[in-house]
């Protein structure tokens, strides 16, 4: 069994985005691992393993427009099922 079940990925489009601040907020406030928050002040890509993907989406939607949202159940994938 995986500790964090959902692979959560999305793009945030906005203005004056700070990848370090986004990274730090997520790590301090949302349980999970394997976080990537990369980009520039206009576009950030998030990749995060968590059990509460809705918290990532809620936070990110407050920073700008979110799109290309993908939430995959890695536990199902590990069992050979569609995630």
Distance between CA atoms of residues 28 and 68, nearest Å: 24
Q: Which domain holds residue 27?
A: 6-78
Q: What is the pLDDT of residue 14?
A: 98
For residue 24, give the CATH number of its domain.
3.30.70
Does residue 83 belong to any structural domain of this protein? no
Q: How confident is the model at residue 70 (pLDDT cuts 50, 70, 90)?
A: very high
Query: DSSP alpha helices (H): ranges in the chain?
Result: 19-29, 53-61, 74-78
pLDDT band at 82 (very low <50, low <70, confident <90, very high): confident
Determine, yes or no, domain membership for 1.
Answer: no
Per-residue pLDDT, 83:
76
Sheet containing 65-73: give its strands across. 32-39, 43-50, 6-13, 65-73
The number of distinct structural domains making up the chain is 1
């Amino acid at each position: 069994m995986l500790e964090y079940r959902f692979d959560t990925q999305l793009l945030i489009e906005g203005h004056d985005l700070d990848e370090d601040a986004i990274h730090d907020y997520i790590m301090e406030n949302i349980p999970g691992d394997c976080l990537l928050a990369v980009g520039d002040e206009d576009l950030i890509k998030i990749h995060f393993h968590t059990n509460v993907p809705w918290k990532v989406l809620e936070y990110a939607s407050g920073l700008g427009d979110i799109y290309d949202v993908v939430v995959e159940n890695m536990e199902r994938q590990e069992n050979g099922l569609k995630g």
